[in-house]
Amino acid sequence: MEGLEISEILFSILTKKNERFRIDSEFVKKEYLKTELLLEKREHKYLNEINAKIIHPTEIKREFVEEGVWFFRTQNLRPLRIEDSNNVFISKEDSKRLIKNEIKKNDILLTRTGANFGQCAIYKKECLTIGSSHVLIIRNTYFNQSYLAAFFNTKYGRLMINKGMYGGLQPEVAPYYLFNIPIPCLSKYFQNKIGWLVDQSANLEKYYQQTYTQAENLLLETLSLKDFKPIRGKINIKSFSNSFRETGRLDAEYYQPKYEQIVTQIKKVKNSVLEDVVNIKKSIEPGSDAYSDEGIPFLRVADYNKFGISTPQKCLSDSYYQENKKTLEKLKPKANTILFSKDGSVGTAYKLRQDENLITSGAILHLIIRNNNEILPDYLTLVLNSKLVQMQAERDAGGSIILHWRVNEIGNVLLPVIDFSIQKEISELIEKSFLLKKQSEQLLEIVKIAVEKAIETNEKLAETFINEQLENLNLNGE
């Protein structure tokens, strides 16, 4: 028995708030029992005691459309943050049929299933949004909703959520279990302080998105594409020499007029193809056998978007790393490298702002600018994420269930090369945007740590921590 972890628990305690009568070892890990004991020693409430609602959205057949009502998916949810990039939309008619799935301002959203199960955030937007069946919606009036969302993101809240996880390949947490998590009853004053911090973070998020949009608009206005609407015609007559002989493509979708129109607009200004302005470096695909819960982080397409990187869900094992150390060390991306996806959600670009100790998957290319006096990294990243390139990605990679954009096609992507002074102006707006984003995220980290400190010690020490951190960020409290 040496080296084994053993938990002893009374049958009466095991069956307490355990309607499904789980007796598996995962349910009674020592870290879960220790955390539960810590929380129950404090004044606490269970969600089922305060008449909280946990809504499990239903799923019906629906189709995505180019414009319509935001359909909120698990990839839109990150710890204490809402991601509104790579959004999909459903028609107004479908949204009416799914109105029971409506997400409202100040709802707590929690991922019910999948690799990111248990991730939780509070929704601060006011647009009509419909949730998928994989996202639970939590409402209550007893606790401050922002405080409750913060608690679920602390190490204690996360351990309690993990305790309720079941299923192997597709982990899941059941709504009934969430009702049985002990929630510490911190003072209303402290809960409201947490709520204020979350609101400040949401305001900074709004400002950084507005600043980023300014940069996007400046690019499109410079190219006279601000109000560009592609031709919707589906007929395009082409000769053999102007089609297959030139492109090697015979599929009709490739020759839709809207794609020609966007290329024509780019050609009106100075332009270049991507392979002439960057070095394209491929990464590695080690296979699932190399995956581990610990080791060097392994970044996949799902782990980043145009606004940043989230904590990778997979790592490469130490043994695999040691066996391939020489190769892997060369693959660690450096500052100013642009990550660019070629599989799955193709065409997603993000510029690294520092050297990263991680390995990217084979679905992600590394783009390294050859001449920073001709094209700036932030400008190029914005162009790659714009509809100028996204439509070229749609043209080249469209028609497959799992999209794949070939490297030679990516190298031939047409780019506008605008006046360098305007590139600088765009880059300054993007830098400002990411500074605001960083401050927003720092506030959320303060929130999480403050709630943990209040649980571990007391609210006074937690509030002192908050005030010290706000002073460091040059922000004032209430």
Q: 20-29, 73-82, 239-248, 461-470: lowest mean pLDDT where?
A: 239-248
Q: Give the pLDDT band (50/70/90) at residue 11.
A: very low
Beta-carbon count within 10 A of 306 CB: 18
List 65's β-bridge partners, or say none. Answer: 89
Shared domain for 246 and 351, answered yes or no, is: yes
Predicted local distance difference test score (pLDDT) of residue 450: 98
| 108, 147 Cβ separation under 8 angstroms | no
- The mean per-residue pLDDT over the stretch 66-70 comes to 91
- Tell me the C-alpha distance between 390 and 259, whole Å: 10
Q: Residues 143, 169: one domain?
A: yes
- Is the domain of 263 the same as that of 377? yes
What letters, b where the CB count within 10 A reaches 16 and e where it falls short, cover 181-213?
bbbbebeeebbebbbbbbebbbebbebbbebbe
| Residue 341 confidence (pLDDT) | 96
262 and 203 in a common domain: no
Which pLDDT belongs to residue 451?
Answer: 98
Residue ending a domain, choose from 162, 180, 198: 180
- What mean pLDDT comes out for the span 314-341? 94
Q: What is the pLDDT, as a whole number, of residue 464?
A: 97
How far apart are alpha carbons 81 and 146 in whole angstroms? 12
pTM equals 0.82
The last residue of a domain, from among 139, 160, 180: 180
Whether the per-residue pLDDT at 21 is higher than 60: the answer is no
**141-179: b (≥16 Cβ within 10 Å) or e:** eebbbbbbbbbbbbebbbbbbbbbbeeeeebbbbbebbb
Mean pLDDT throughout 400-421? 91
Measure Cα distances from 335 to 275, 356, 367, 378 in Å: 20, 8, 11, 12
State both tokens at 306.
């145009």
pLDDT above 70 for 67: yes
Pair (55, 39) in one structural domain: yes
Q: For 153, which DSSP code? A: H
**What are 363-376's pLDDT values in tens digits?**
999 999 999 999 99
Q: In the prediction, which pLDDT does 171 show?
A: 80
The Cα–Cα gap between 427 and 385 comes to: 14
Question: Is 341 or 23 the better-scoring residue by pLDDT?
Answer: 341
195 plus 94 within the same structural domain = no
CA 149 to CA 162: how far, in whole Å?
A: 15
239 and 194 assigned to the same domain: no
Q: What is the mean pLDDT of residues 274-280?
A: 97
Whole-number pLDDT of residue 18: 55
CATH number at residue 328: 3.90.220.20
Model confidence at 163, pLDDT cuts 50, 70, 90, reads confident
Of 52-66, 160-174, 251-265, 376-390, which range is least confident? 251-265
270 and 173 within one domain: no
**Any bridge partners for residue 120, and if so which?**
110
% pLDDT > 90, the chain: 65
pLDDT at 385 over 90: yes
Mean pLDDT score of the chain: 87
Q: Given this model, what pLDDT does residue 50 score?
A: 94
Of 210-219, 251-260, 377-386, the least confident: 251-260
**Of 402, 427, 452, which residue constitutes the final position of a domain?**
427
Q: State yes or no: pLDDT of 334 exceeds 70.
A: yes
What's the whole-number mean pLDDT along residues 94-117?
A: 91
Q: What is the mean pLDDT of residues 199-221?
A: 95
pLDDT band at 166 (very low <50, low <70, confident <90, very high): confident
**What span, in angstroms and rounded, lies between the C-alpha atoms of 194 and 90?**
34
Residues 250 and 323 in one domain: yes
Length of the chain (residues):
478
> Which comes out higher in pLDDT, residue 428 or 225?
428
d(CA 296, CA 138): 35
User: Would you tell me how many other CB atoms lie within 10 Å of the CB of residue 62?
Assistant: 16
pLDDT of residue 382: 97
3-class DSSP assignment, residue 359: strand
Of residues 6 and 193, the one with the higher pLDDT is 193
254: containing domain: 211-427
* For residue 92, pLDDT beyond 50: yes
Query: Which pLDDT score is estimated for 23?
Result: 47
Q: Within 10 Å of residue 382's Cβ, how many Cβ atoms?
A: 25
Q: Are residues 116 and 200 in the same domain?
A: no
State the pLDDT confidence band at 422, using cuts at 50, 70 and 90.
very high
Same domain, 65 and 84: yes
pLDDT attached to residue 73:
92
Check whether residue 49 and residue 151 sit in a common domain. yes
Sequence-distant (6+) residues with CB within 8 A of 357 are 296, 297, 332
Look at the chain and report how many structural domains it folds into: 3
pLDDT (average), residues 259-283: 93
